[in-house]
Amino acid sequence: MDSTLNDTLTRVGRGTPMGDTIRRYWIPALLSFEIPDADCPPVRVKLMGEELVAFRDTDGRIGLVQEACPHRRASLYFGRNEECGLRCVYHGWKFDVKGNCVDQMNESRQFADKVKLTAYPALDLGGVIWAYMGPVGKIPAPPKFELTQVPETHRYMTKVWQECNWLQALEGGIDSSHAPILHRKLTADTTEPGIPFDSPFAQGAAPDLEVENTDYGYRYFGIRPMGEESTYVRGYHFVMPFTQLRPTGSAKAIVDGHFWVPMDDYNVMVYNWGYSYDENPLPSEESALRESGNNFYTDINVENGFRSVLNRDNNYKLDRRIQKYETFTGIRGINAQDRAIQESMGPIVDRSQEFLGPSDKAIVAARRILELAVETVKDGGDPPGLAPTYYNIRSAEDLFPKDADWHKGLIARMYPATPVSAKSP
């Protein structure tokens, strides 16, 4: 990839080609529990290079507005959330969830009707506060992934701040071939997180990849021969512009996934989630997250902007003894392993220096779709993935006899006839 295209796909500020493209979608801005109640304290949100604050007003409506008060640029993070508005504590200017100035305590002659904050539409869906930051009049359908339609008992959701560009985090996630290498356990008896060395995922040969374009992005398959008798296949989805659905490595009715949301050009908030689509609730959050390294109670410092306790400052607490005898990396937690390697590439990786191979088909396909989306938006068109065709999709995996039609078998499971959203409560 040349440096010009690399710059186009990685920069997300307002007015940049990719920034304008991503703003056409609903974007996860924060988790619902961060603003749990009416008139609760506001919280800071860094999103798409913009400094924002989020709050719920007295009536429970969500505000997502610029952090800087338009009067003297003081931070509204310090504001009072009161009586259906956020009031700046410097001079008492007050703003509603739509950014309208509704009062000016320090002014004897009011001109509030001439003052307005940047404010974005927001909705609370599936444990996430979603924002739309694009052109007025082009808001797409609500992001009703199947994840958002199951009961709270049937899903988990965490997030972690990753210190690199959003695209290299996304590309690391959709890369199927690295997982049984980077995340591999070396012994059967280790208690360290990772992919068991004797699992089909780890024991199969290097995968062949197949990518099939869809109207929301693409689906792709990692196909691993298992000796002479069988084939192990994992089916994933990539949903524009930053979502992946992936198999869980278990036979249960569970789907995992990620949103890789740009905070700015050099930081990304990685949302990690999973859900059960049958009658069985998920295990406790602690159990569900034991392997990932994304537990809020032990792995992520919520008070420090959702930064992991394993980070570049402490070399992710890499343990060379564990690396030698128990796991491939010696870093605890699958997602911590991903962060360590992706951050090691630098804030924005120089893709002009890469040497790609057949195992990188999904990455090449993602770059091409993103490039085409940018060009479409530049020309005044609609990028792919705005229509709600992704509502009814799941990831899937299975072991098939050598000559079986694995494609037909997996597709039936990846596009269920009766999604959760269509079932009776």
pLDDT at 222: 95
For residue 3, give every residue at least 6 positions away whose Cβ sits within 8 Å of its Cβ, in sequence order, or none: 350, 352
pLDDT at 195: 84
Residue 389 lies in a domain: yes
Are 157 and 126 contained in the same domain?
Answer: no
pLDDT at 206: 86
Residue 385 lies in a domain: yes
- 17-63 pLDDT, tens digit per residue, is 999 999 999 999 999 999 999 999 999 999 999 999 999 999 999 99
Of 100, 132, 164, the position where a domain reaches its end is 132
Are 65 and 153 contained in the same domain?
Answer: no
pLDDT at 143: 98
Are 158 and 243 contained in the same domain?
Answer: yes
Collect the ranges in the chain with pLDDT lower than 50: 422, 424-425
Residue 260 lies in a domain: yes
CA torsion angle 204 208 212 216 (round to 10):
60
pLDDT at 425: 40
Cα–Cα dist 416/393, whole Å: 7
Domain residues for 34? 26-132
Question: How many domains does the chain divide into?
Answer: 2
Look up residue 49 and give its two tokens.
Answer: 């290079």
pLDDT at 283: 76
pLDDT at 424: 40
Residue 139 lies in a domain: no
pLDDT at 423: 52
Look up residue 174 and give its two tokens.
Answer: 């959709």
Residue 73 sits in a domain whose CATH number is 2.102.10.10
Are 204 and 304 contained in the same domain?
Answer: yes
Residue 166 lies in a domain: yes
Are 319 and 415 contained in the same domain?
Answer: yes
Residue 14 lies in a domain: no
pLDDT at 290: 66
In this structure, the strands spanning 101-104 and 208-213 are: unpaired
Tokens 């994304």 correspond to 294
Report yes or no on whether pTM surpasses 0.85.
yes
Are 158 and 210 contained in the same domain?
Answer: yes
Residue 190 lies in a domain: yes
Are 218 and 245 contained in the same domain?
Answer: yes
pLDDT at 199: 77
Sign of the dihedral through C-alpha 68, 70, 76, 81: negative
Residue 404 sits in a domain whose CATH number is 3.90.380.10
Residue 389 CB-density burial (10 A; 0-12 exposed, 13-18 middle, 19+ buried): middle
Q: Is 212 helix (H, G, I), strand (E, B) or coil?
A: strand
Residue 118 lies in a domain: yes
Q: What is the CA radius of gyration of the chain?
A: 23
Look up residue 372 and give its two tokens.
Answer: 């085409």
pLDDT at 395: 96
Are 127 and 158 contained in the same domain?
Answer: no
